[in-house]
Amino acid sequence: MTGNRDKSQIFIRGLAIFGVFILLAISAGELPGPAGKLVKIDKAWSPETPPGMTMSAGYFSITNISDHKMDIVAAESPLFASIKIHKSTIENGVSSMHMVKDIVIAPRETIVFEPGALHLMMMRPTHALHADDSIPVTLDFADGTRVNFDLSVVANKAPS
Ligand SMILES: [Cu+2]
């Protein structure tokens, strides 16, 4: 009898500790800071890369839901050798693109990466990417925050 009671007490103590871990895990997701939510990312996509294609582009919209400015300084993905932030412009009817050093997002501001404008220029994919694949991307911010999200690969669209 005594042995059984000891076991049930240990079991209850175990449950309590487990519960504390769950509470910690839930609250960590809501705290501001590197592990918390500082930005919201929507409509993240990338065109298919046929075999032999050496570059692609990533598009998404990003909203700063923190109360301070967020400054994107770099991006990377395990599926591409390098990613740069580019901006396409049309001048005298000629489309060109240039590298952007960083993207500063004010609190509550949304910035849209889209064809013909800001985009992630993604160089040298590790393999051909097809519709419904996802591309994991990490954005690095000036304050050391890193944000991970996935670009969904979409068929029949060309990068621009
Ligand atoms: Cu580009």
59 near 116, Cβ under 8 Å? no
Looking at the predicted structure, is the pLDDT value of residue 150 above 60? yes
How confident is the model at residue 130, as a pLDDT? 92
Around ion ligand 1, which residues have CB less than 5 A away?
A: 86, 97, 121
What single DSSP character describes residue 110? E
- 26 contact partners, CB below 8 Å, separation of at least 6: none
State the distance from the centre of ligand 1 to the C-alpha of 89, rounded, in angstroms. Answer: 10
Looking at the predicted structure, is the pLDDT value of residue 95 above 90? no
How confident is the model at residue 4, as a pLDDT? 56
Average of per-residue pLDDT across 23-37: 46
How confident is the model at residue 12, as a pLDDT? 54
State the distance from the centre of ligand 1 to the C-alpha of 121, rounded, in angstroms. Answer: 5
Residue in 46, 53, 49, 55 with CA at minimum distance from that of residue 122: 55
Give the model confidence (pLDDT) of 40-70 as tens digits: 999 999 999 877 889 999 999 999 999 999 9
What single DSSP character describes residue 117? S
Question: What span, in angstroms and rounded, lies between the C-alpha atoms of 137 and 79?
Answer: 9
State the distance from the centre of ligand 1 to the C-alpha of 124, rounded, in angstroms. Answer: 13
How confident is the model at residue 30, as a pLDDT? 38
How confident is the model at residue 49, as a pLDDT? 83
How confident is the model at residue 159, as a pLDDT? 56
Average of per-residue pLDDT across 21-26: 46
What single DSSP character describes residue 30? H
How confident is the model at residue 22, as a pLDDT? 47
How confident is the model at residue 91, as a pLDDT? 86
The residue that leads in pLDDT, 143 or 16, is 143
What single DSSP character describes residue 129? B
pTM: 0.74
